[in-house]
Each structure stands twice: as C-alpha cells, then as structure tokens.
Structure 1
C-alpha cells in the first residue's frame, strides 16, 4: 500500500475514509467524490438549519435535541476532514464544492426575495462551525 503525505490526483486512491474504499475502480472513485460532496453539503445545511421549534416548557428536551444536532454536525465535519486527509486533490475539491454550494443554497442570502435581512434570520439552531 502506498500512503501519500503530499497532494496527488489519481483514480487509484485506495483509502479515503475506510481501508480499501473506494478501491482502484473509476466508478467507485466517482461515487466516493459524490459521497464527500454530499457529506460536505449536509454539514453546511446543518450549520444553517432551523429545525428545532423551541418550547417554553421543555428546555431540557430542546437542549438535548440541539446537542444531538451539534454532535451530528461535528461528526460529519470530522468525516469530511478525514476524507480530505487522504491528500487526494479530487476529494479536496469535492469537499470544497460541497461546502461552497451548501453555503450558496443554505446561506439564505441568494434565494431571499427581499434584500432586507430580518433580525431573526441569522438565528440558527447551532452556533457557527469554527475550528
């Protein structure tokens, strides 16, 4: 097995996140790039999502749901990071594209009808992802 410690680009990447995945098949490599893209997109969606309706009588439940969302986002972000650590340029570009398109779509400014941003628009369920 050949481990790279510098960036390279090859369909013969034998390890992205799991041993032996995607293998040396071009179709598997393309599927792996799509998976990294979608994973990055989901991380960005969770960063901007407003999924929890706060209830005034159940702060513990709201806090637990928010913590579960946070743990999911962090776990998926670490999987993207591990994929990028394969040093494959295609994987890096797929991760950047997923985050960028996710920000474009879920960042709310591109698809808003009004140019005025309501004061509550910046509120999301989770704090910004800062590493």
Structure 2
C-alpha cells in the first residue's frame, strides 16, 4: 500500500480468483510537490510546466473573486430598470460564488503551492481592488461601495 498519495493497490479474492483494485488516494494533510490533482482528474499531471499553469490559474481565480467582491459595475440611475439591475447583480453573485467554490476546491487538494497561490491571489486582489492604496478619492461612509454584499464564511 502507498500511503504517500497517488495510486493504492488492494488485493481481494473473488471466490478463488484474486482481484486487484486500484484506488486513488487523496492527501488529508498539506504536502509540497508538483504531483497533485487540482480541480480535475489528471490535472495538472506530472509535468512541472502544467503545475506552474495550475498555480497561475488559481492565483487569477482568487484575484477575480476579489475583483467581483469589490467592483462597482452597475450604474445607479434615477430611471434605471430594477429588474435588469437585479438580474445583473444576481448573475454577478452566482459567478463570484461559483469561482469561490472552485478556489475552495483547489485548496482542498492540500497542496501547499496551491494554498500559497490562492492566499497570494486574494491578497493581491484585495490590494488592487479593495484597499485604499489605489483609490484616488475618499469615499463617504454612507455611499454604496460595491455591487455585491460581502461574502461570509
């Protein structure tokens, strides 16, 4: 048996004939390495370039989640159609939640590199879209800041 992750082979007996089963083992503790499965079966595989692509992909996903969490894309107008605005807001919420769950599932691979990429992506996204660093004007406390309500855990 292989307890380090990857494939595990078990032997059982079907009457008189031995049967070999191969099962995929999932890490239940953080590990460091490029041989991991993230989001999809067989991805990123064993090639280091694909692992780097996976790190970049989850980093960008985390940045996009922060962008959607701090964006103000729906323009307020006096004669605006509330139905269209509400549907747009709902669609943005669904996309943000879907991407958030993808990021969460990537972290559940227990790969330390993926975890660092996700935390870095959320941090960079917050720095650019949520912090005061890149804001030019002071926003009064009564003014609406984002289209979507804050995410809660």
TM over 0.5: yes
How do 1:1-131 and structure 2 match up within 5 A?
Answer: 1=7, 2-13=25-36, 15-55=37-77, 56-114=79-137, 116-119=138-141, 123-131=145-153
Structure 1, gaps ≥5 residues long: none
Query: TM-score normalized by structure 2?
Result: 0.79
Inter-partner Cα distance in structure 1 for 2:80 and 2:87: 14
Q: Deviations over 1:38-75 (max 9, x none)?
A: 00000000000001113434111110000000000000
Q: Which of the two has higher C-alpha Rg?
A: 2
Q: Deviations over 1:79-131 (max 9, x none)?
A: 000000000000000000000000000014011235x4333655210001112
In terms of fraction of residues, the more strand-rich structure is 2
Larger RCO (CA within 8 A; separation ≥ 6): 1
Q: Structure 1 pair 57/117, CA: closer, same or farther in 2 (3 Å)?
A: closer
Inter-partner Cα distance in structure 2 for 1:29 and 1:54: 43
Inter-partner Cα distance in structure 2 for 1:125 and 1:117: 15
Structure 2, gaps ≥5 residues long: 1-6, 8-24
In terms of fraction of residues, the more helix-rich structure is 1
* Number of residue pairs the alignment of both structures matches: 129
Q: 3-state SS of the aligned residue for 1:119?
A: coil
- CA RMSD after TM alignment: 1.5
